[in-house]
Structure formats: C-alpha cells, structure tokens
Structure 1
Amino acid sequence: MSDLIVIVYPTESKAEEVRQRLLELQKEYLIKLGDAVIATKTESGKIKLNQLMNTTATGAISGSFWGLLIGVLFLNPILGVAVGAASGAIGGALTDVGINDAFMKDLAASLHPGNGALFLLVQSITSDKVLKEIQGFGGHVLKTSLDETKEQTLRNALESASKAAEADAAQK
C-alpha cells in the first residue's frame, strides 16, 4: 500500500531540489516512489503540474513501435508507424498513472502563487534516513495519508528546518 504526502515549499525550484534528492535516495534503495509531481499556481491562478513521466510521449513511442511491427507484417510500415504513434499518443493522453491529476489540481488551488507543492506517492521508505536527508529543505506538510504519529514526526522534522532558516534570516 502506498502513502500520499504533499509538502509545500516557498518556490517551485525548492520543490524540484527536494524531488531530485528523493530520486537520488531512491537509487540508494532508501525510498520507493510511485509518483513525484510538483504543482504550482501561476499569478493568474492557473495550476501547472510538472510530472516525471509524460504519458502522451510514452504512448506515442510505444505505439510507433507496435505500429511499425504490425506495418511490416502487412507490408506497409510507414502507415503502421503513423497509425501506431497516433493511437499510442491518444491512449497515453487518456492514461493517468500515479496520483490523480484532478486531485492534485484541486489541492494545489489552495497554494499561494509561486509556491511549489511536491506530491509524493511513497510505496516504501526507510523513514529515519530519508527524513534526515530532506529535513534541511524545510517545507510545510499540506496533506498525508500517514498515521498521526508518522505525520507528526514529518511535520516536526520539516518545521525544525523552517525555524532554523527563519532564525538565520533574522540574524542577517
């Protein structure tokens, strides 16, 4: 079973920095992510999702391959590639893997313009090691599906970094 965690950062670049760090930790087998999406809200109020995987492009590539293969069998590979790419792109665009896009857009509507919300679908995690790695980035927990004790541990770790950053800013 996967857990959903949504953390808000002051900027999209800070959220991207955390996502990249989590992807590095995934290579070290400390966390397994099902999805990691950054949502931002523009000044005009439009919600933008920055996803790791583009399902339309993936579908087009896959469709092209299968279309070419079928086209070779029926002696018309060019037509097969074209039809395969088009059907794959349509299928990819209609496919929603990971976190539901409508859910992310609804939740991101509460963001302040310029903030970045990092949506994580966590399949497994070594909590103590991952928290130690990301607590320095700060952030504010917006929503989780964690139990209350795990959620509070996450909130405390992120708030300690936020308070330290505020103290540093006040000293300058």
Structure 2
Amino acid sequence: MAMTTLTVLKFESPDGAENALEVIEDLNKRQLIALHDAAIVTWSQGKKKPKIRQLSSLTGVGAFSGAFWGMLFGLLFFVPFLGMAIGAAMGALAGSMADVGISDEFIRSVRSKVTEGTSALFLMTSGAVMDKVVEAMKDFKFEVIASNLTKEQEEKLREAFSED
C-alpha cells in the first residue's frame, strides 16, 4: 500500500489552486495519481479571511472527515495568532495534529505563505507517477509545502477523525 501524502501547494494567484486541481483530477482519472481528498483555500485581495472549499465529491475510502479539515484550517487561519499561548484545548489539538505529521513548523510555514491574494491546494494523494505529474503541473507557478505521513500517522489521523 502506497503511503498517503498530505501536500500543500501554494499559488501566487487566488485562482491558481482551483485551476491546478482540475489538472490533478484529470491525472486521477488517468490513474497517474490517486487523489484521496483535497481542499482549496482561496484568499482574495482585500479579504480578512480565506474561503475554503472541500472536495465533497471525493467521499470514499481515503477521504478525511470534515472535522479533520475544519480543525486543520482552524489552526491555520482562524485561530487568533497568539504565538504559543493558543490555550490548552488548541494546544492539545495541535499536539494530536503533530502526531499525524502536521507540526508547528508545517502550520507556521503554511500560515506565513498562504496570504491575501494567493491560494493553496491541500492534497491527500498516493501513488503518483512523478514524471507525469510534474509534466502536467509544469505550467503552474507554485511552491510546495509538503508534509509526509507514515502509515502509522495516517491511521492515527483516520482514527482521530473517523465519524461514527
């Protein structure tokens, strides 16, 4: 079983992520990458907060629950940024995120790079045929902020956010 990777791609325009996702979805149809789940963050110029869209069409084995994305985006964009004084609840939450490969470093990195006038594509994928993916994505200008999950971390993550 191939490892699932959480990859964050940052684009220099508010619609970059949306356009890139179409390419990834096409690669998925052609079985050149397995797209398990995705979410798009669009941050238009002049807006205080980004808009977030989950790919609801992908509910399936690999899809994470809305709770996972909600918590991740909460940590990234909606928690007032108070340095380490986030509060005990958020601290514990951040701890459980760290267990699944989403570290403070990851959060800081995304938070500092995904800003007004940009967009980001959050992808849960596995089994990418790298040269084909690279070829398909070469026309896009983006920066990769990646976080790899081990099998164990992935299971912990699914467990933590499974909706029963």
TM-score, normalised to structure 1, is 0.54
Asked if the contact 2:12/2:141 (under 8 Å) is kept, the reply is no
Partner of 1:31: 33
Partner of 1:114: 117
Cα pair distance change 1:44/1:137, threshold 3 Å = closer
Candidates 119, 144, 149, aligned match of 2:147: 144
Name the % identity. 28
Distance (Å, rounded) in 2 between the aligned partners of 1:23 and 1:44: 28
Quote how far apart the aligned CAs of 1:144 are: 2.8
Q: Deviations over 1:76-118 (max 9, x none)?
A: xxxxxxxxxxxxxxxxxxx825953322341454322020011
Quote how far apart the aligned CAs of 1:128 are: 1.1
Asked if the contact 2:17/2:41 (under 8 Å) is kept, the reply is no
Quote how far apart the aligned CAs of 1:141 are: 1.4
Quote how far apart the aligned CAs of 1:39 are: 0.9
Distance (Å, rounded) in 1 between the aligned partners of 2:35 and 2:57: 16
| SS of equivalent to 1:4 | strand
Q: Deviations over 1:124-146 (max 9, x none)?
A: 21111111110221201123328
Distance (Å, rounded) in 1 between the aligned partners of 2:15 and 2:47: 19
Alignment of 1:67-146 (within 5 A): 96-97=65-66, 100-105=69-74, 106=76, 107=107, 109-110=111-112, 111-145=114-148
Q: Unaligned 5+ residue runs, structure 1?
A: 59-94, 148-172
Asked if the contact 1:98/1:121 (under 8 Å) is kept, the reply is no
Distance (Å, rounded) in 2 between the aligned partners of 1:127 and 1:99: 27
Distance (Å, rounded) in 2 between the aligned partners of 1:132 and 1:34: 21
Partner of 1:15: 17
| SS of equivalent to 2:38 | strand
Asked if the contact 1:35/1:98 (under 8 Å) is kept, the reply is no
Q: Which moved more, 1:115-124 or 1:100-109?
A: 100-109
The structure with more helix, counted as a fraction of residues: 1
TM-score, normalised to structure 2, is 0.56
Cα pair distance change 1:18/1:99, threshold 3 Å = farther
Q: Unaligned 5+ residue runs, structure 2?
A: 77-106, 151-164
Candidates 48, 51, 56, aligned match of 1:48: 51
Quote how far apart the aligned CAs of 1:11 are: 1.6
Q: Which moved more, 1:39-48 or 1:15-24?
A: 39-48
